[in-house]
Copies of this chain bind each other. A is one copy, B any other.
Amino acid sequence: MTEKIGILAIGHGSRLPYNNQVVSEIADMIAKKHPEFVIRSGFMEMSTPSVEEAMLSFAGTGVTKIAAVPVFLASGVHITKDIPEILKLDPETKQGKVKLDGREVTIVYGKPLGSDELIAELIFKRAQEVF
């Protein structure tokens, strides 16, 4: 069976609109560039859809595996504890399951952005915009 991959972009969530906007816009960019993947976004707290709601919204898409990726800059308690708990990941394997359309779909868990040349390039671009 060919895998059909879903990507869930997980944002922190905020009372202000900015975090929600950034995460949703990034999800749209990925969806546009990679139409063979099914992209959703969900939020840990304060914004909607919640992570659980976003996960269930993969129903009907035929995804066979979902990569949940935190749209967070760095690791921390949200990454190591809170989000794995929401996703009910196995603490050993860092994998989980969600039931969609009567099938069990595997959830795998990605790293946050971290230090990467792409972030360095973007920070330099943000500096260039103002000097």
- CA of A121 to CA of B67 in the docked complex: distance in angstroms? 15
Give Cα A23 to B75, complex, Å: 12
Q: Are A72 and B73 in contact (CB under 8 A)?
A: yes
Q: Which residues of B contact A113 (CB under 8 A)?
A: 22, 73, 119, 122-123, 126
Residues of A60-109 contacting chain B, CB below 8 A? 65, 67, 69, 71-77, 108-109
Q: Chain B residues with Cβ under 8 A from A120's Cβ? A: 26, 29-30, 33
Give the CA-CA distance A129 to B122 in the complex, in Å: 21
**With contacts A113-B119, A131-B108 known, is A71 near B73, CB below 8 A?**
yes
Contact assessment for B127 and A69 in the assembled complex, using a CB-CB cutoff below 8 Å:
yes
